[in-house]
Structure 1
Amino acid sequence: MFRAFRHAIAGLAMASGAAACASYPQADVEKMRFVDAAGVHTHVETWGPESGEPVFLIHGASSHIGTWEPTIVPMLKGEFLVAAYDRPGMGYTTDRPPGSDTLALQAKVAAETIEKLGLKKPIVVAHSWGGAVALRLALDRPDLVSGLVLIAPVAYDWPGGVDWYNYWSANPLSGWVFNNLVAQPFAGASVRSGMAGAFAPNLPPEGWLDAARVSLAARPESLRANGEDLVAAKREILGQQARYPQIKVPVAILTGDSDRVVSPTIHSMQLAKTLPNARIDVVAGAGHLPQEIAPDRFRKLFDWVRTNK
């Protein structure tokens, strides 16, 4: 579960330091768009015609807006008004107020971002841990959501915990040292390696890692935010999983049967059986990013939600 960094970061704290420091994509923050949502100065981006039907994207763990840009944004922006945001502490959303590790606050930030952007009951598309946020959004603010498209979502309690480095990143005493000093010489390469590993058994499309700007997830602030989210994940999932039958909007689920990060059996398949209005597509041989391996099947599920909302 949540092994996005495992391939290269294992043994990080014991490694000797002959490595280059992580580098991050440069951006002109002053030209970026932000909205204030639930006390979080939230980075947002939009694409497509303002008159288009709204779509709202929620990214997963160890990621940010950029992971939508290689495939999903180009697919939808010609027809729909597509909006995305960086969750608290991730990407260019640097704010991380107390309680940001709770799905209640994460969903509140998503809800107020939708409202601030003026989106009228968008279809919400979410990946991985973003799926847990989307489910909570649909539970807490059903008035804001017309349907969900969940990609390899985290939905239920699972055996075991999360990888050790998340606890180091999230620890209020050791976290700063770990995230700013210990991890940084290796973090950029580790994030890239981990994201590539999340595609397994597939390979990332050529140029995908650069187009998605995955190295942003290696920033110290993002490592801390991600660690806090994942350390709290089981507690938060246990607090909402019994409520899923309350979700009445159409929910489409895309998952890969070879996902090594989030079990398709524990999460996607069980969720499809639980929700009253759900449809699932299991992509044979796909890992944790099935939308990149089978974008046509993502689009079919998206269109199903759109037709049935």
Structure 2
Amino acid sequence: MLESGRAGENPVVLLHGCGSIAEEVMMPFSGSGLHIIAPDRPGYGFSSALPSGERGPVGQSFWLERFFDALDLANVVLACHSIGCAAALHLAARRPDLLKGLFLISPCCRPVAFKPFIVLRSAVAPFVGPVIRQHVIARWSAYFLKRGLRASSFPNPVSSELLTLPAMHMVTAASIATMAEELWAFNGDMQPLASLPAGLRVSVLSGRDDRIIEPGWHLDWLYDRHPAPTVELLDGVGHMPHHAAPDLARKMLDDLALPTKTAGFAA
């Protein structure tokens, strides 16, 4: 877990996306002055995986609830990137009283069509999977990290800050297995999420040229479940708008975290 700023009345919890770590999602926000807490999600970085059957968005939402309780956090702004948004949305639907607002960055939240993910499936296949994870992907972690960063950042260049991320910390045998497990659970977990509390403030930052997810597909789903999200959709920006437009990302987070000091939304 990483922490930035001074503890106070406006806590922000940051959740990274698939295949990432706390350090990446913290980078654009670390100098904001807000009290920011960024954990490695279960199974990534230095965090242990959740038990089998709890590794999808629903199980991670209960982990989030326990995380808030362990740190005695309330009235939280939950800021998330990509598939990290899925667990946040489940928590918001079930326990809106814990939250002050949601900041969704390139949200991946709507069930999607089947994708083969050939390399990932091979890495978790019986017999050959452990060999591929430990002796191919983990051994060539720097190569796979740079490849992932280029794909996520496109059409924007990979920032010099992102190039400092520790490949051996991010691309591990455990993280590869975690990626597969949460992707497999994603569609089934997100299908039943019917609505979000109308009184909860929701802000969304996405890139119109995102090649990792289709922004419109997920934004339409959000519009059906919340009456008035605040949305910024940026031209010429890919899946990493918090790195491509950090000033706007910090402003949107400030707008959620700073204006009021009232208790969290109550259903």
For the criterion TM > 0.5, the same-fold answer is yes
| Structure 1 runs not aligned, ≥5 long | 1-43
Within the candidate set 248, 251, 266, 1:297 is matched to: 248
Match of 1:221 in 2: 174
1:253 aligns with 2:167: no
Rounded to whole Å, the distance in 2 between the matches of 1:151 and 1:205 is: 17
Q: Give per-residue Cα distances to partners, 1:54-80, cap 9 Å, x unaligned.
A: 001111100010112321222x2x2x2
1:234 aligns with 2:191: no
Cα deviation for residue 171 of structure 1 reads: 3.8
Q: Give per-residue Cα distances to partners, 1:129-174, cap 9 Å, x unaligned.
A: 0011111111122121110000001111223325122223344554
1:110 aligns with 2:64: yes
Q: Kindly tell me: are residues 292 and 182 of structure 1, through their superposed partners in 2, closer, same or farther at Cα, counting changes over 3 Å? A: closer
1:159 aligns with 2:113: yes
Equivalences for 1:137-176 in 2 at 5 Å?
137-161=91-115, 163-171=117-125, 173-176=127-130
Q: Tell which deviates more after alignment, 226-235 or 171-180.
A: 171-180
Rounded to whole Å, the distance in 2 between the matches of 1:57 and 1:84 is: 5
Q: Tell which deviates more after alignment, 181-190 or 124-133.
A: 181-190
Contact map agreement 1:127 1:153 (CA 8 A) in 2: yes
Q: Give per-residue Cα distances to partners, 1:82-138, cap 9 Å, x unaligned.
A: 111111110100233222322221011111111111222210000000011111111
Q: Which contiguous aligned blocks of 4+ residues in structure 1 show a shift greater than 6 angstroms?
A: none
Within the candidate set 274, 278, 288, 2:239 is matched to: 288
Query: Over aligned residue pairs, what C-alpha RMSD do you find?
Result: 2.1
The TM-score, its normalising length taken from structure 2, stands at 0.89
Rounded to whole Å, the distance in 1 between the matches of 2:123 and 2:99 is: 33
The TM-score, its normalising length taken from structure 1, stands at 0.77
Equivalent residue letter for 2:148: G
Q: Kindly tell me: are residues 260 and 166 of structure 1, through their superposed partners in 2, closer, same or farther at Cα, counting changes over 3 Å? A: same
Match of 2:23 in 1: 66
The 3-state SS of whatever aligns with 2:227 is coil
| Structure 2 runs not aligned, ≥5 long | none
